[in-house]
Chains A and B, each alone.
Chain A
Amino acid sequence: MQKYRKFLYAFVALAVFAGLFGGCAARGASPVQKSTVSMGSVVTVKVYGAENADGELLANTILGAIADLDTKVISKNAQTSELARLNMSEHPETPQKVSPELFVALRETKAIYSQSDGKAALASGALTEIWGMDTESFRVPFSSEIESAKALCTDETVLFTDDGCVAFRNGQTLNLGSVGKGLACDKAVQMLAETGLLPQNGGMLVSVGGSLALVGSPKNGAPFTVGVRNPFGSENEHFATLSMSGGFVSTSGSYEKKFEKDGKTYHHLLDLTTGFPAETDLCAVTVTAKTGLQSDALSTLCFLLGEEKSLPILKEYSAEAIFVYTDRTVHVTGGLSSALQMTDSTFKAEAV
């Protein structure tokens, strides 16, 4: 009996230690998380299931790559970016060679927005500038300003050649502002593949101002749980969650950037055919798509076009969407219904 007792005590002690260490290890599975501010948004990288050192390296690499993407390639404001210099060309009608990365981004954005009945365009810079959207010094432009800017906001005069050149009319300003976050998400996934720092059973979540890239799994093959922000609530409030095993999500909403003047509220999603913020019953659209660029562009497109016209376009890109209306009704496209779980009973969801 005495001998067994010693074993029993040892076993109990081991069990306790195992439990404690197991608990600590499980906590160690909490992700490596790093954030910076880039593109005027908070960019966060979460790496799951990797060694701390790897996770940190990966996160830093991605954050650096996104910052570079902004300042060197797609930013409209930074003088150093390729796009800014392109916009400043003296003779933009003459096709100019741009980097493959920028070329693809510009061409795809034009392609997606070409289905917006003119409400969205790659060349939207003329209008976003007079509204002060780019510098966040919002103002209501004069009608004359709007008229002349509108004329410049058409993609019909933006042309791409097969050898990677771009041409557009003098006075136009090409703008990737509405797809920048999606592009950053794509960049993050690209860097992940290049560095190969993620183990097979790991996962990564990148958030660029609310546009997300999801890779792998946060834990044991389980999907990510993503909250959909409540447009009427504070920053951390969500009205639903999405269960996603990878992919890209973006949201466009009138609640994000807006300002008030003389008692009227102006949001930032401009309808280029009117030159004013789009008038709609929608207050937010969330889109899941195959690339970050697509999810970002399509969410803007859906917001401007409205649900009915957007549905066929979404199908074309194999994308799904959640339309949130100002009366708190929520319409969800078929492919997302099973992944979506409502968590706020003041919203009513319907499948479309």
Chain B
Amino acid sequence: MTKKWISRADVIVLAVLLLVGLGLWILPRVLPQGDALVAEVTVGGETVLELDLQTATARKTYTLENGVVLVTENHTVAVLSADCPDKVCVNTGVLSRVGEVAACVPTGTVVTVKGESRAILDGITY
């Protein structure tokens, strides 16, 4: 058992983890977004819904079979409500960037924002 409050090794660990955490946190915010944002909804690993966020302007709700309700508005997506005790998914809030996730573990639902790399053109002829 240790009598130490905090040691030098602790500070190193904290610093390293802090850097890793900040790095991981910044990453989605600086990466190029891609042209076509899509919200992919999976339940139990199977994709059940793909919502085109590019064209999602007016507020629209989608109710899944398992009772999870999603809402898209202004190029963003969020979990509006779900039949789960903790509501972590709902509290995750609004997703707008590539890589952002909202997950409801009890219902097995995951909403991920993806950027379609297919849409990244070098140029267009017209």
Contact = CB atoms under 8 A, between A and B. Distances in A.
B1 interface: no
A178 to B, nearest CB: 15
B16 A210 contact: no
B28 to A, nearest CB: 11
A13 interface: yes
A205 B13 contact: no
Q: Taking chain B's interface residues, is the majority helix, strand, or loop, or is none over half, making it mixed?
A: helix
Given A16-B19, A23-B27, A30-B32, A205 B12 contact: no
Contact of B125 (A13, A16, A227): A227
A9 B12 contact: yes
Contact of B23 (A19, A209, A226): A19
Interface stretch (B37-45, B67-75, B93-101, B115-123): B115-123
Interface of B: 9, 12-13, 15-16, 19-20, 23, 26-27, 30-32, 118, 120-126
Interface residues of A, number: 42
A16 B23 contact: yes
A226 B126 CA distance: 10
Nearest to B117: A225
A5 B16 CA distance: 12
Interface of A: 2, 5-6, 9, 12-13, 16-17, 19-20, 23-24, 27, 30, 44, 46, 205, 207, 209-212, 214, 218, 224-229, 235-236, 238, 241-242, 249-251, 253, 256, 286, 343
A5 B122 contact: no
B9 A5 contact: yes
A294 to B, nearest CB: 15
Contacts of B12: 6, 9
Nearest to A31: B122
Contacts of A256: 126
Nearest to B12: A9
A259 to B, nearest CB: 18
A238 B20 contact: no
A210 B123 CA distance: 8
28 contacts: A2-B9, A6-B12, A9-B16, A16-B20, A16-B23, A17-B19, A17-B23, A23-B27, A23-B30, A44-B123, A209-B126, A210-B124, A212-B123, A224-B122, A224-B123, A225-B120, A225-B122, A226-B121, A226-B123, A226-B124, A227-B121, A229-B124, A229-B126, A238-B124, A241-B121, A242-B125, A251-B125, A253-B126
